[in-house]
Structure 1
């Protein structure tokens, strides 16, 4: 009959049973020779089992604490993980935007160098009913963004503005206003005679100017040199990035006086007139002007 340990007699009997001694004997099955024997009590057995459980539990907690497996536990680090995910998402979006802008910039430069011109006629005209479409969209029952979404968008915009401010030193232009090209004063890059005018039909996207040998070519505007190299067709070529999305090219030079990354002021000598490259028939300067990715006729803005 089982003893009830929840009364005084049962508890006393249970404590007596804990003091009972037992012997654990290990014998050879064939010879019945005693190999080892151990004296045990129920108390010692319970104590040993409890110690093993505590030790295993301690090892399990230590393993979880010092290894990344804790990240897979439900509810562990939920707040910090969400913040890390949002931070990584913002960084990925920022990198994607920078890569997209870089691809567009390199594509425009490649088109400028190869003469693949985009004229005003190539720019798509917005639809006349675009405004009415936007009004209709506003009238539709579209769920407004939540307060958390608005806060996240504000943070992303602030980060973009901060990145632009950090890159202000690289760009070198303190003015953020987009000045029309008609309001910009250009310095004549070379005093001489124009031998070939700007003509898109003939794929001549600049003007050719002749001048005496060893004449210095000047920068039409202040800016940073982003191209200073030699190509087979245009020879020694230099390109300058100016403010307001304006780029100028100076081709067929005998020598270049500036390197990539140099900041030049308007009227500063940047090259020497020459006759390098295959697309030339004598010493001259081929001058190009690009505004917002569209080639312009330099004679409309500069008196050569």
Structure 2
């Protein structure tokens, strides 16, 4: 035990023993510089300078252009340029695909395979997004299948009553229809004659999605209803509701007028849209 203490004491003494470093003039032996050191001081100073040197090396590499010369390192600018190039290449692919599809569609016209009359008919089909309601009539097989499904439910009357109630609309105004719904002349509405100042009422509960003035149709109001129905009221005298207002069925929202360049006198130009298609309002509303 005492021997171990003696060895530890000798090791500590070796670390703390002082040594003097002297710099002499070789000719005159004049002392120029002297420094007292110990082994412990040498270790501490060596470690300190090593840490400082590593910090300086890291700073030079991290904050100077030298880092670009390190193998395997890629700068942020190069990464950003690579990402931008990838995005541009992707967008060019999309545009190229669109151009190819356009060229394929245009090729029959340029080569004469498609007659001009057929082109006009295709354009008209794209412009007229009107429901052909004759196709909605159920066939005999559809009616039998529908009846079988209803019979499988013991209480079908509840659902039927609810669905029918949702399709009941309030007449915006009462009066004579001066012009009926006619898609062939692009008149997707009915014009109802009424006195100036008569209240225009909401056909059902909904939200005002447009309330403002247009040059051709004057004061216009558009409502969004449930089941993807939209009602449009044009040529109003004045508007009583603003955009985002909530309205109830039968509530006055405007007054009858004769505003706009396309007006022919006091009347209400009323449109009804379902799922993005114009429908004949007379089949949903009794204006008498």
TM-score w.r.t. length of structure 1: 0.51
Query: Does the Cα contact within 8 Å between 2:196 and 2:237 map onto a contact in 1?
Result: no
* Structure-2 change in CA distance of 1:181 and 1:227 (3 Å): farther
Q: Distance in 1 between matches of 2:262 and 2:23?
A: 102
**Aligned residue for 1:148?**
none
- Tell me the equivalent position of 1:23: 20
* More helix by percentage: 2
Alignment of 1:42-191 (within 5 A): 42-50=39-47, 117-120=128-131, 184-191=167-174
Structure 1: distance between partners of 2:31 and 2:259: 105
Q: Hey, what does 1:227 align to over in structure 2?
A: 210
Q: Count how many residue pairs are aligned between Structure 1 and Structure 2.
A: 184
Give the unaligned 5+ runs of structure 1.
1-6, 58-115, 122-176
Residue matched to 1:199:
182
Distance change in 2, residues 1:294/1:34 (3 Å): farther
Cα-Cα RMSD: 3.8
Higher radius of gyration, 1 or 2: 2
Q: Would the alpha carbon gap of residues 40 and 268 (structure 1) be closer, same or farther in structure 2, given more than 3 Å must change?
A: same
**Which of 233, 246, 249 is the matching residue for 1:263?**
246
What's the secondary structure of 2:15's corresponding residue? Answer: helix
Per-residue deviation at 1:233? 1.5
Structure 2, unmatched stretches of 5+, are 55-126, 133-159
Deviations 1:183-221 (A, max 9, x none): 511111001111110011100001011111111100000
**SS of the residue 1:205 aligns to:** coil
SS in structure 1 at match of 2:183: coil
| Structure-2-length-normalised TM-score | 0.54
Closer, same or farther: CA 27–221 of 1 in aligned 2, 3 Å: farther
Paired with 2:193 and 2:187, the residues of 1 have a C-alpha distance of 16
